Amino acid sequence: MRLSCVGWDSSISMANKESNILVVGAGIAGVSTALWLQRYGKKVTLVDRSEPGEGTSFGNAGVLASCSITPVTSPKMIPKIPGYLMNPEFPLYVIWKKLPILAPFLIRYLLNANDKDTRRIARGLTQIVTDSVVQHKDLAQGTKAEKWLKDSKYIFAYHSRKAFESDKYVWSLRAKAGFKPNLVEGPEIREILPGTGRDITLLAVMDDHGFILNPGHYVKDLATTFIGQGGHYVKAAVQDFLLESGRIKSVATDEGNFECTDLVITAGIWSRELMKKLGVSVPMETERGYHILFRSPSIEPPCPVMVATGKFVMTPMAMGLRCAGVLEFGGLTAPPSKKPLEVIKAHVMKTYPDLTWSETEEWLGHRPAPCDSLPFIGEVGDTRIFAGFGHHHIGLTSGPKTGRILAEIIANNHFPVDISPYFPRRFT
């Protein structure tokens, strides 16, 4: 079931064809960009083939994961991959019939699994995630969306100290960015996480994080604020672009053509095909992620918990307990796999053996994963076309700052971020 935006009025959608700036994609990055541009006095039209707040902006774990500065690829990963793939309980999957199509991307992806590239990627991610809570508060302050924001800790749950120490490399990079956990063992674990089973014997507790109580409604409420302040929303599918003298002139959609002086592409994995129309190849694949929502759960953690053995997050939300994670390479068209959901549920029950619930809901979404784990942010050449996509696991976390950076660039304001790691044409 999807969440409808209360009071949504699409009758005004077609009223602003003369808008100067077009933002394609109404997830967290696109809505953030539109709102910040509006605050800088710009006329903006937001375009999406669905309603705002769908896709991964709807189905994520809801964590404002300020410490998530390390990529999935890391040193010593490659020798471990056969073991991962042979272990049906490990949350890494490949739909094998898709391998011929995925292979070129996966090779480029795995080439980053070394110390030098991991540190380079971590530096790039640090700029756009470490102040996530502040960026979300700046974006949502004074809007209906503000009520969904909650300050919290972020807990990493391990089954042993040895398992925690095996993540020493990742924690050392987090420490360089200022994130050092408080380690908890023994009876205090049950005080912090009541109902936890014996499978969890160590907690790494991070302060100064946050989460969203309802990600879908959060983005919809931000979009409603944008519209209520004079912004325009068009439900349409983008078909092509017209450039004149090397700069964007108009965008063709199934609802007509829209002239614009600036275009922002924030359409997640679907941005890849839009960039192709501009002659720009973007090495990005869909990284399929799953979640299970346990409605009316008998046990809930007080804050988001990353269960390290299952590589998924449990988050207490307004709708129930959402457990989200898994990394599956399988393209856009393959149906959902059963095994990832079974694995998530099995790890949930190890963590909370006595958990009961009224019903469950399952979901599959598509994270946009660049081969170097860094998003694409900035202008495509001198076209007045701007990219803001490819955030893989950190879309919700970094969406507001991405939107703010893009708005500052378009409005010719100064923003103290080096965007060179995110150049849209860095692979061209």
The answer to whether residues 254 and 293 belong to one domain is no
Question: What mean pLDDT is reported for the chain?
Answer: 92
Q: 237 and 119, same structural domain?
A: no
Can you give the CATH number for the domain in which 65 is found?
Answer: 3.30.9.10
414 and 353 in a common domain = no
Q: With respect to residue 135, please indicate whether it lies within any of the assigned structural domains.
A: no
Range name among 9-13, 275-279, 292-296, 411-415 with the lowest pLDDT average: 9-13
How much is the pLDDT for 304?
Answer: 98
Task: Enter the pTM of the model.
Answer: 0.93
How many Cβ atoms sit within 10 Å of the Cβ of residue 205?
Answer: 16
Q: Are residues 171 and 106 in the same domain?
A: yes
Residue 333 tokens read as: 């068209």
| Total Cβ atoms within 10 A of residue 385 | 25
Asked whether the predicted pLDDT for residue 9 surpasses 70, the reply is no
Q: What DSSP string describes 331-361?
A: TTTSPPPHHHHHHHHHHHHHH-TT---SEEE
Q: Indicate if 233 and 322 belong to the same structural domain.
A: no
Above pLDDT 70, what percent of the chain? 95
The per-residue pLDDT for range 44-86, each reduced to its tens digit, is 999 999 999 999 999 999 999 999 999 999 897 877 777 766 7
Same structural domain for residues 300 and 347? yes
Helices (H), 229-321: 271-277
* Lowest-pLDDT choice from 82-86, 153-157, 313-317, 397-401: 82-86
Is the same domain home to 157 and 296? yes
Could you give the C-alpha distances from 403 to 165, 397, 419, in angstroms and in order?
36, 12, 13
Is the per-residue pLDDT at 252 higher than 90? yes
Q: pLDDT: is 16 or 415 the higher one?
A: 415
CA distance 173 to 170: 5
Domain with 34, as residue range(s), is: 10-58+216-283+373-422
- From the number of C-beta atoms within 10 Å of its C-beta (0-12, 13-18, 19+), residue 29 rates as buried
pLDDT of residue 7: 32
Q: Do both 294 and 260 map to the same domain?
A: no
Per-residue pLDDT averaged across 196-215, rounded? 97
Residue 13 has pLDDT above 50, yes or no: no
Identify whether residues 364 and 383 lie together within a single domain: no
Res 404: pLDDT: 97
Q: What is the mean pLDDT of residues 117-123?
A: 97
Distances 57 to 219, 220, 306 between C-alpha atoms, Å? 7, 10, 19
- 268 is a domain residue: yes
**189 and 46 within one domain:** no
Integer Cα distance of 17 and 317 in angstroms:
38
Tell me the average pLDDT across 365-383. Answer: 96
Least confident of 82-96, 223-237, 287-301: 82-96
Same structural domain, 151 and 100: yes
Whether 342 maps to a domain, the answer reads yes
